[in-house]
Amino acid sequence: MTRSLLTRRYLLAAGGALAATGASGLLVPAQAKGLAPTPSMRGGANNYLPGAPIVERIGGGGFWMSGTVRRAGDGAPLAGQRIQIWAHTTEGYERDPHSHGATLTDANGVFRLEMPQIVPAFGQPHGHLAYDSGEFETVFLRPVMASSSDTSLEAHFVLKPV
């Protein structure tokens, strides 16, 4: 009786382990799909003004908006991509043209633009970023600061070719 129970238990354990190995083996190819494109965030395009000029910095600066731009699939960094940035800051509203500016990514696909301190507006301290140059699908981001006393904010783009 005892022996037969042990035998069954052993069989179940061995069978289960085998099944788990097989299942995990079958799941592996799913990881090879590659980097998924970043979807636009809700409200990301609010108060967007097309054609923000490329600037050294927005207003007096003191706050850093940075991030990366990569290609969907292989994740290759994209150089020379124009990213537009705007926010409600100590120097103006989101809709004010002087609150808007743009910058280009460097050879590593990294962008970094100094701007005035972002202050909470409409209940959250947040910024807006846009990619809409046409080579890749348009993406609008709306990252939220963890704390309104932060002096920097990051946003990352993974773009899908059109």
The site for other proteins (CB under 8 A) is made up of: 41-47, 88-90, 93-95, 119-125, 142, 148
- Of 110 and 121, nearer to other proteins (C-beta) is 121
In this structure, the strands spanning 127-131 and 139-141 are antiparallel
**Least distance from C-beta 89 to other proteins, angstroms?**
7
Q: Which is nearer to other proteins, 86 or 136 (CB)?
A: 86
Give the nearest distance from C-beta 40 to other proteins in angstroms: 11
Q: Indicate the pairing of strand 110-115 with strand 63-71.
A: antiparallel
How buried is residue 132: exposed, middle or buried, by Cβ count under 10 Å (0-12/13-18/19+)?
Answer: middle
Distance (Å, rounded) from C-alpha 106 to C-alpha 69? 10
Q: Which is nearer to other proteins, 65 or 87 (CB)?
A: 87
- Kind of pairing, strands 152-159 and 63-71? parallel
Q: Minimum distance between the CB of residue 47 and other proteins, rounded to whole angstroms?
A: 6
